[in-house]
C-alpha cells in the first residue's frame, strides 16, 4: 500500500482543457474590450483638449504636412478641413516669413532647443489677407510631429501701426509749430 504522501499524477480531461481555454479566451476578450474602451476614452479626452485650447492648433508632420487642425484653426484661416489637412503648411505662409519658418522647422527636428519655441510670422488666410501671428511650437515626443498653436495678433499690429502713424503726425505738427514760432 502506498502512503498518502505519495505524488499523484494529475490528468486533465479534454473537457477541462476546453473549459480552461474558454476561460483564457474570455479573459483575453475582456482585456481587449477594456483596452479598446480605454483607448476610446483617451482619444475622446485628447480631441476635447485639442478642440478646447482656445487657440488655433495644428499637428504638423516632419515633411511639413498638416495632419490635424482644430475648429479654431479653420475659423482663423477661413480654410475648410479639406483645404488644410493633408497639405503642406508652407502654402499658407507669406513669403517674408517662409525661409525663417522652414529653417526653424528643420532645426526643431534636429534638436528642439535650436529653434525658438515662440516667434512672430505672417500667414495668409483664404481671402488672401495677411494675418500676423505668434506661433508656439513644441515637438510631440517620440515622433517627428510638432504641435503648433497660432495666436492671431493682427489687430494688435494694426493698432501699433496706427499709433506710430499718429505719433509721426504729432511730431510733424510739433515741428511745424516750432518752425512757425521761430
- Dist. CA 175–CA 170, nearest whole Å: 9
Q: Is 69 exposed, middle or buried (0-12, 13-18, 19+ CB in 10 A)?
A: buried
Residue 106 has pLDDT above 90, yes or no: yes
Q: Which domains does the chain have, with CATH numbers?
A: 54-161 (3.30.450.20)
The CB-based long-range contact list for 124-129 (8 Å cut-off, 24+ gap) reads: 124/92, 124/93, 124/94, 125/76, 125/77, 125/78, 125/79, 126/77, 126/78, 126/79, 126/83, 127/78
Q: What is the pLDDT of residues 122-156, one digit of tens each?
A: 999 999 999 999 999 999 988 989 999 999 999 99
Residue 12, pLDDT score: 64
Those residues with Cβ within 8 angstroms of residue 97's Cβ, 6 or more apart along the chain or in another chain: 121, 122, 123
Predicted TM-score (pTM) of the model is 0.72
Amino acid at each position: 500500500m502506498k502512503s498518502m504522501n505519495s505524488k499523484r499524477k494529475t490528468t486533465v480531461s479534454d473537457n477541462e482543457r476546453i473549459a480552461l481555454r474558454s476561460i483564457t479566451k474570455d479573459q483575453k476578450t475582456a482585456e481587449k474590450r477594456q483596452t479598446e474602451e480605454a483607448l476610446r476614452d483617451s482619444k475622446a479626452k485628447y480631441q476635447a483638449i485639442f478642440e478646447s485650447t482656445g487657440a488655433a492648433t495644428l499637428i504638423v508632420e516632419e515633411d511639413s504636412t498638416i495632419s490635424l487642425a482644430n475648429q479654431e484653426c479653420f475659423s482663423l484661416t477661413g480654410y475648410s478641413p479639406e483645404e488644410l489637412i493633408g497639405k503642406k503648411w508652407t502654402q499658407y505662409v507669406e513669403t517674408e516669413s517662409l525661409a525663417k519658418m522652414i529653417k526653424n522647422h528643420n532645426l526643431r527636428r534636429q534638436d528642439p532647443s535650436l529653434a525658438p519655441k515662440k516667434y512672430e510670422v505672417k500667414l495668409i488666410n483664404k481671402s488672401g489677407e495677411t494675418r500676423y501671428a505668434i506661433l508656439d511650437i513644441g515637438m510631440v515626443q517620440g515622433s517627428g510631429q510638432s504641435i503648433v498653436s497660432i495666436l492671431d495678433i493682427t489687430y494688435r499690429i494694426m493698432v501699433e501701426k496706427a499709433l506710430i502713424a499718429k505719433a509721426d503726425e504729432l511730431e510733424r505738427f510739433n515741428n511745424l509749430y516750432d518752425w512757425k514760432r521761430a
